[in-house]
Structure 1
Amino acid sequence: MSIIYNFNTWKVSGNKAPQWSQKAYKLMRVNINKRGYTGELLGAIMYLHFIKGMTVTQIRKAPTGYNLPSVHIRSIIKGTFSPDAFIIFMDMLETEPEILDRLFRTY
């Protein structure tokens, strides 16, 4: 099954694909070039901590944070690793929690 991107509909069923907000796009576009971390990874780690309530050691054992150092995970959670991603995530947590669930519920 694939999406026709020009019209944002599924080819087979014809249903509309779920849309993201502008903040979700901004979060996914955050890129830390010097370390290779993407906005998706940063958002997934913050989702696991702030919404699912996982600790740093639990996140390190999860598939998302398996090879990440504990120091990086702590700094992502504190917001010092990427302040832009942290601010966008916290804003989405207050205003658009359903979109966060749609983005990261599989993590």
Structure 2
Amino acid sequence: MYLCVLMKGASESSIVGGRVAKPHSRPYMASLQVEERHICGGILIRPDFVLTAAHCNKLNSGGPLICNSKPQGITAFLYKDDCSKPNFPHVFTKINFFLPWIKTMMQG
């Protein structure tokens, strides 16, 4: 299991093709940062748990796929680890298959 620490003041964080959101309008989103640098996206599944992709430990995305305000998946693959290429595939893993395991891990 990997532990990522949230730090404040990240520089140069962005979502490719995204737009500025109202502050606090996406309370489930998390930015995992090291030395004020965004390294991975995630989604809060509990106040003390952030879900990311397993490859997040290699400084890749891991950001969530949200549909109708509910988490549906998490980034599993990006073309050459570069999410700025919208014409290339981005693959998401469905979260619901892993829910029993996630809940077991959260119980400690």
Tell me the TM-score range normalised by the shorter chain: under 0.3
Q: Flag the structure with higher helix content.
A: 1
The higher-RCO structure (CA 8 Å, 6+ apart) is: 1
The structure having more radius of gyration, on CA atoms, is 1
Q: TM-score, normalised by structure 1?
A: 0.22
